[in-house]
Structure 1
C-alpha cells in the first residue's frame, strides 16, 4: 500500500506531525499542516493563523486547500476542522474520490448531556463553561455528511460520534518510544526504592484547570501536607513540550486529572517514564481499555487517601511505574502498536 496522505489542520498532541513523519519513514508521501499555536513538534507547514485578519484567514485557508486538494489520496483531519470554514472543501474532495477521515479528540465532540450519563463529574467539568450542544452536533453532522469514518481514542469519544458517522474506529494515542526523551534513564532522576528516604515530588500538569479538577487536587495535597512533610507538590503549566518532559521526569507520582474519566497523553508520557499515575477512570470507559491498565484510579472523594497509601507503599509505586512502561510499550508504542493499526484502518476503507 503506497498512498499520499495529508494530515491537518490542527496539532492535537502532535498527532498530525507524528503520523506524517512516521509514515514518511516507511515510504509514504505525507504532509502535515498546523495552523494554530501548539507546544509540540513543528509540522511541515506550521503557523498561527490567528495573527491574521478574518479576510486573510479565509484567503490563507483557500490557498492551502488549492495547493493540496489534488495531490493526496487520503485526507486525515483533526478536531472537526477542515480547510474551509464552510467545509465546502469536503464536497470537492468527496467528488474526486478522496478518502476522508475525521479524527475527533475531545472538546470538539464532547457534550455534557451525554457525558453525564456515564460520568458523575460531568457537571463539575463544565461548571465554568457553557457548551452550545446544538452547535457541536451541527459541526459533527457537517463532517459526517461527507466523511464516512471517524477515528477516536477511546469509548468515551466514540459515544459522542457513533450516532452520526457510518463507521467509528478506535485508535489509541501514540507515543514514539524510540525517542530519547521517553526513556527515564536519559534524565537525572533518583529512582524510588523501598528503603531510600527522601522527599517525594508529586506533579500535576493541567492544560485546563477546571477540566482537570485542579482545585480538588490542590485541596487534597494541602490536606496530605498537614499530616506529613515528606512530599513536594509541583504544578507545571504553559511549557513547551521538551521542557515539560524534563519537569515530568523529576516527579515520583503524577496526578493527571479527577474529572474526565479517561486517560490521555499526559498519563501515557508519565507511564513511559516509569511514573506511577493517579487519575480518575470511570467504569464505562474502563471497559474499553486493556485489562492490565496500571493507572491508579482516584476520585475527588478519596484522592487524599489514595496519595497517603501510595506514599507509604514504595513497592506499589515501583510496581506501578514498571507496569506503566510495559503497558505503554504494548498498547501505545507508535511503531509496534498504533501505526500498524492506523494502516489497517486506511486499508479497510481505501
Structure 2
C-alpha cells in the first residue's frame, strides 16, 4: 500500500504518522509545500522560500501531477489539499496591500479553487480514497468562537487573524472536503463543533513514546524550571503567563523560565528535557503537540481545558486528564500552587503525565486505526471496481 501525505508538516503530525506507517509495512511519503524553522522530517519539499508567484504556479502545476500517481490513499493535513489556499501554493504571499496585489490575490484564489476541485475530481475518478486531518485554525472560525466560547483564541488575536471572509472560506472548504473524504480526523476536540458529524477525534500520535526516555527532574533543581514554547504569543497567552510569573517573582518565589521560540523541534525537545513543568496555552481549550512531547519526557503541563468539548472525548480519557488547569484569570494562582507544593507531588504528576501519553497517545494504536481505515476504503473501492 502506498500513501501520500500533503501539503504541510504542521506540528510534526504527518511526519510522525508516516514514520509509524512505514514501520507497519506501508509505503508512506510526506510532501510539504515548504519547510519552516521547526524542520520536521519530510520526503519532499516542493518550494523554496520567497519564490516568485510565477514560479510557485509552475511548481504547483508540476506537483499537481501527483493525482495520476500510483497511490492507494491520499491523506491531506491541516484541512488542505495541494491547491487550496489553506496551503501556500498559489497563495496570497507577496501580493502586498496594493490594488494590483489584491486583484492578483483574488485571481490566484479563483485559479486555486478551480485546480483544487480538479485535484479532488481526478482522485475520485481514479477511486483513490481521500483522508483529511484537521489540526486547529484550519477549521476554527472567529465568529463561531466568539458566539459560543467565553474563552477562545478569537478574543486575543489582532484584526485580520479571523475575518468574516476567512470564516466563510473555511466553512466552504470543510463542506467541500466532507464531500470527498472517506474519513475526517481532528486532533483537537473543539474542532468537532464545526466539522461534519462524521468527523472523529483522533489524539496526537506523532511521538514515538516507547523510544523517548522520561526525565523526572522535578526534585533535582533548586529553582523550579518552567518552559513555555509559543508559536504565536497571542494565541498561547504568553503575555499573561510572563506577567503572572513576573508578579510571582516580585512576591519572592524563586524559579526560572525558559521561553523557547524560533528554534527547531530538536532544540526545543532538548530544552524541554531540562524543564520541570511546561506551560502550554490559555485560550484554545485543549492541549497541543508540545504538551504531548513534554508529557512523554516526564513533564507535567499547565493548560486551559474547555470542559464543554469533553463530550467529544472517550469518557475514560476525560477522566484521566493529568493537567494542571489554568484559565487566563487563574493562571497566576495555578502557577503559585505548583511552586508551593512538595516536589514529590510534582514527580507524581509527571509520572501520571507520562502514563497518560502512553495510554492515549500511543502512535502504534493511532496509526493502526488509520491504516485500517485506509484498507477499508481500498476494499470498498475495489468492490465497486469489481475486483
TM-score (norm 1): 0.89
Per-residue deviation, 1:281: 0.4
Distance 2:48 2:82 in 1: 12
Worse-matched range after superposition: 33-42 or 257-266: 33-42
Q: Secondary structure at the match of 1:14?
A: helix
Does 2:157 correspond to 1:126? yes
Distance 2:20 2:322 in 1: 27
Does 2:138 correspond to 1:108? yes
How many pairs are equivalent? 336
Worse-matched range after superposition: 323-332 or 43-52: 43-52
Q: Which runs of 5+ in 2 are unaligned?
A: 84-111, 379-387
Is the CA contact (8 Å cut-off) linking 1:252 and 1:276 kept in structure 2?
yes
Does 2:326 correspond to 1:326? no
Q: Secondary structure at the match of 2:278?
A: strand
Equivalent residue for 2:264? 240
**RMSD in angstroms over aligned alpha carbons?**
2.0
Q: Which runs of 5+ in 1 are unaligned?
A: none
Distance 1:246 1:198 in 2: 20
Alpha-carbon spacing, 1:192–1:89, altered in 2? closer, same or farther (3 Å): same
Is the CA contact (8 Å cut-off) linking 1:171 and 1:341 kept in structure 2?
no
Worse-matched range after superposition: 263-272 or 75-84: 75-84
Describe the superposition over 1:180-225 as per-residue Cα deviations: whole angstroms up to 9, x where unpaired. xx3235xxxx8223xx671111111100000101111111111111
Per-residue deviation, 1:117: 4.9
Worse-matched range after superposition: 154-163 or 237-246: 154-163
Pick from 194, 205, 218 the counterpart of residue 192 of structure 1: 218
Distance 1:40 1:345 in 2: 29
Is the CA contact (8 Å cut-off) linking 2:46 and 2:63 kept in structure 1?
no
1:139-150 matched pairs, under 5 angstroms: 139-150=173-184
Distance 2:183 2:49 in 1: 29
Of structures 1 and 2, the one with the larger relative CO (CA 8 A, separation 6+) is 2
TM-score (norm 2): 0.81
1:36-115 matched pairs, under 5 angstroms: 36-38=34-36, 39-67=38-66, 69-84=68-83, 85-86=112-113, 87=116, 88-115=118-145
Worse-matched range after superposition: 136-145 or 87-96: 136-145
Is the CA contact (8 Å cut-off) linking 2:67 and 2:122 kept in structure 1?
no
Equivalent residue for 1:265? 289
Q: Secondary structure at the match of 1:7?
A: strand
Per-residue deviation, 1:80: 2.7
Kindly indicate which of the two structures has a greater share of residues assigned to helix: 2
Equivalent residue for 1:310? 338
Alpha-carbon spacing, 1:243–1:47, altered in 2? closer, same or farther (3 Å): farther
